[in-house]
Structure 1
């Protein structure tokens, strides 16, 4: 099995078309089909099914897609580190939860670049558990997670706090303050369960004796921006971190709906390895800079 076969497989899975990928990759369709056949032979299972909707992944194909993405990411990190070693170029890789990556950390990156101009900074968003996995696996140098971790290898410190709020479109008809019972009469647009804010909200409701099945959940979406778009179009209410909606509240596109007896605050912590690899003194300084500056440079 070759990495280039996996890379082509990922493109086919995305495009759902062998011919499109063949044309874009400047290889013939029969040659690409043969490479995919070799990949299937190496793995011992069928990865694709043809249908009138194009190429569809089998169950084995879905599993392969998930792990191939991880393998390709690891390979890219491997190549990048070798490149940096050859060219004496330092890269600081930051991994953060989606809300922190989109609404908090970018401004800190700008300040960090001014302070450390020889560094290249990258920022990737992912769930907290994946942030921890990448920092522990040396795929990220600095991470930002919701809550804390007890991992002995990692330094962990709270750097800022935020609050999950209930919001609606500015012209959506709803009382200024709602009880949890009153919330049952409105459609909800929520993030999916991979988000910490969703799980915290569900846990808070459960502690009050409520289950989400009791509410009119119309949508589960996989990005904060898509949830905001839905709600701003008048499709219901949502619970989101204040940091993610403060701009829209300022622009009067969204409004906060007070929730009686419902207050949900959470902490975001910086994590990084206690011991800097390869004795990189500059990287240690960058980590300490983020630790000290994030609270004062949040966007």
Structure 2
């Protein structure tokens, strides 16, 4: 099985069109069809149902698509390692908010302390990070939950402070009880995350259901949430590291909930020591020494 054919297969599955992929890839449609036919022959399965309206995956195609992304990324990681054998670069993945707001600060601290280290930090979905560590696509992952796989090690390394942000006009105090702010309109992330999980648990303890609070918008990113809060539409729970600049510029107010613990720990996950290079072991050992509040 040629990796190039698998890449074409993945693109066709996404666009549902052989002609579009051929056009985008500057390859003739017959040549692309032949590539896919060779892939099907090597697997002994038909991967696409073809029609005048395009293509759709067969059941076998769905199975291949499930593994294609990881195979391609593992292959690319192998090429990267071959090309960068002398760079000793440590590849790190973090959940989107962690990689965007928390880890840059933490890794900068590491860079100051260990200037010879080279880091490649990438944001990734939480469900992929653990698999990427297992597959050696990255050496270290940072998530809000400990790893589930038995052959991975998890360690709480950073405590992320969660704050309630609000427009200055709301004049909310620096310290407030949770029930005192439930009449406000909330802006939240669309996807499930540790902040939302902790908020739901605190509400349940107070006897409220999450569906009872007024949510005016469910957004894809913390940046979008900050924009709506700055414009005065509502309040939101976010990591403090995500709003330090806006708070310093007095564009938003920051409050702490005093009767419930909404802060969360960030876990560093990696393979067990016998599977790690000396550089990665060194990074892990020294990262732990920085302490859980290195970004404040």
Q: TM-score, normalised by structure 1?
A: 0.75
Other-structure match for 1:22: 22
How far residue 69 of structure 1 moved from its aligned partner, in angstroms, is 2.3
- Between 58-67 and 246-255, report the one with greater CA deviation: 58-67
- Between 151-160 and 135-144, report the one with greater CA deviation: 151-160
Q: How many residues align?
A: 291
How far residue 250 of structure 1 moved from its aligned partner, in angstroms, is 1.8
Note the 1:1-299 alignment, pairs <5 A: 2-12=2-12, 21-36=21-36, 43-46=45-48, 67-84=67-84, 87-113=85-111, 119-128=117-126, 130-148=128-146, 153-171=151-169, 173=170, 176=173, 180=179, 183-184=182-183, 186-193=185-192, 195-257=193-255, 261-277=259-275, 280-293=277-290, 295=292, 297-298=294-295
Distance 2:224 2:19 in 1: 31
Distance 2:50 2:212 in 1: 39
How far residue 15 of structure 1 moved from its aligned partner, in angstroms, is 6.2
Structure 2 residue matching 1:220: 3-state secondary structure: strand
Distance 1:268 1:205 in 2: 23
Q: Deviations over 1:129-158 (max 9, x none)?
A: 543333344333222232545866444433
Q: TM-score, normalised by structure 2?
A: 0.75
Distance 2:238 2:50 in 1: 38
RMSD between aligned alpha carbons? 3.9
How far residue 192 of structure 1 moved from its aligned partner, in angstroms, is 0.9
How far residue 282 of structure 1 moved from its aligned partner, in angstroms, is 3.1
Query: Structure 1 residues 287 and 246, CA, compared in 2 at 3 Å: closer, same or farther?
Result: same
Q: Deviations over 1:34-54 (max 9, x none)?
A: 545666785535378887xxx
Task: Show structure 2 runs of 5+ residues with no match.
Answer: none
Structure 2 residue matching 1:290: 3-state secondary structure: helix
Would you say the 8 A contact 1:202–1:211 is kept in 2? yes
Q: Deviations over 1:177-211 (max 9, x none)?
A: 57537525524332411x22222222332233222
